[in-house]
Amino acid sequence: MPDALADSSSDVPTPDSPDRPTWDIFCRVIDNYGDLGVCLRLARDLAQRGAQVRLWSDDLSPLSWMQPTPVEGLACLPWTDSARAAPGDVVVETFGCDLPERFVAAMAARAVKPAWINLEYLSAESYVERSHGLKSPQFSGPGAGLEKRFFYPGFSDRTGGLLREPGLIEAADAHVAHGAAAWLAARGWAPAPGERVLSLFAYPHAPLAAFLDALGPGWLLLLCPGAPQQELPPLLRDGQRAIALPHLSQTDYDRLLWSCDLNLVRGEDSFVRAQWAGRPMLWQIYFQDDGAHGPKLEAFLARAMTGSPAPLRARWGALSRAWNGLAPWTPEAAEALRELADAAAHARAWRAELAAMPDLTARLQAFAGLSSGA
C-alpha cells in the first residue's frame, strides 16, 4: 500500500466527464482530526478505484503528515473554494457538516441532479440498521428539489459496512509474517528481548495510572501524539518503558498497528484500522456528556464478542468499561491484559467475519448508483 498525499494544487477533470464520475466530499474539523482521517481514507480509496475526487475541508494542515505523496485523481481543496465549483456526480456531506448554501444551490441547478449522501458516524447500535438508507427530500431552501440520503457505516449487511481498501488484509498479514520486527527496528522502536509492544492513542482523560498498574511489566509503549506523550512517562511502572512517536502517515499508522501485540485506539478512524489489523484492541470511545458513549460501547462489545469464549467476553468487557471510566478497575480487567492469546485469536476471527462483507466504498458506490468498478 503506497503512501499517498492529496495534491491540493492539482486540477480535477470537469464533473461532467463521462468516463470517470466525480465525487465531492465535504469535511469540517471540529476538535480532533479523526473525521478528516476517515474522509481522507474514503477519498483516496475512491480515487484509487478510478473516481475523480475533491475533498473539501476547512483545515487541510494535517494532510502534510497524514499522506505525504500525491494521489492521482484526488485533490484536497479549501472549503471556501467550493463556492466557485461546479458540483460533481456524487456529493458526500460527512458527519452532518452542512454544505455551503451556494454549492447546494449549484447542485439543484444541475440538469442531472447529483446523488447527495450524508455519511454518518459509525456505531453498532440498532438504530443504524433502521436509519441506513433513509431519504430526506428537500422542499425549500437552496436545495429545493434535491433528495439527501443517509449512509450509516456499521458491522452488518444491513449497514454501509467499514472502509477497507482492496488487498488490505493481505498486506497486514504479509507485514506480520515478514516485516514487523524490521519495520520497528528501522525506526528505532524495536522491543528489547522479552518485551511486548503496544501502541497507545488516547484522549487526555484516559486513566493512564490505573492502566499501567493493570498492565504489569515487560511492555514497550509506543505513544502516538497527544496528551499521553507528556502525561504517561512519569507514571511508568517497573519493567515498562515508552517512546513518543511523531505524527505518522495513515499508511505508516496502519503498519504500526500491524506491528504491535496490543493496540489502544480512540474515536473512529483508528478504531476501524485496529480491527483490520487483526490484533487485540482496546477502544477508548469518544466521551459524551449525556452518557451516550456507554450504550454505544456496549453495543459494539455485544456484536464483536459474539461467539467468543465466556471468560474472554467477561474479561474484555471489564477492561473496556474500566478504560472508558464506565466501571471500576477489577482483577478481571487486569487479567485481560495478561491473557492476550485468546484475544488475539478472537481478533483474527472477528476480522475474518467483517472481511466477508462488502467494504464501505463499494457499498457507497452502489448506493450512489455507480458500480464498484466505476
- List, by residue number, the catalytic residues: 35, 268
DSSP string, 287-346: P-TTSTHHHHHHHHHHHHTTTS-HHHHHHHHHHHHHHTTSS---HHHHHHHH-HHHHHHH
CB 254 within 8 A of CB 165: no
- Contact status, residue 265 vs residue 273, Cβ threshold 8 Å: yes
**Going by DSSP bridges, is the β-strand pair 147-151/135-137 parallel, antiparallel, or unpaired?**
antiparallel
Which residues make Cβ contacts (< 8 Å) with residue 208, sequence separation at least 6? Answer: 202, 228, 231, 232, 235
The grid coordinates listed for 88 are 460533481
CB contact at 8 A, 143 and 161: no
262-266: strand order across its sheet: 240-244, 219-223, 196-200, 262-266, 281-284
Q: Please count the helices (runs of H) and the strands (runs of E) in the chain.
A: 15, 12
Q: Is 39 helix (H, G, I), strand (E, B) or coil?
A: helix
Cα three-residue angle 254-255-257, rounded to 5 degrees: 65
Nearest to 131 by CA among 96, 159, 99: 159
DSSP summary character for residue 144: T
Among 206, 172, 373, which Cα is nearest to 278's?
Answer: 172
Residue 321: CA atoms inside 13 Å, Cβ hemisphere, count?
Answer: 19
Query: Are 22 and 51 contacting, i.e. CB atoms less than 8 angstroms apart?
Result: yes
Can you list the alpha helix ranges (DSSP code H) found in the chain? Answer: 34-48, 63-66, 101-109, 126-131, 168-178, 180-186, 208-215, 228-231, 250-259, 269-277, 293-304, 310-323, 331-338, 340-355, 360-367
Three-class SS state of 280 = coil
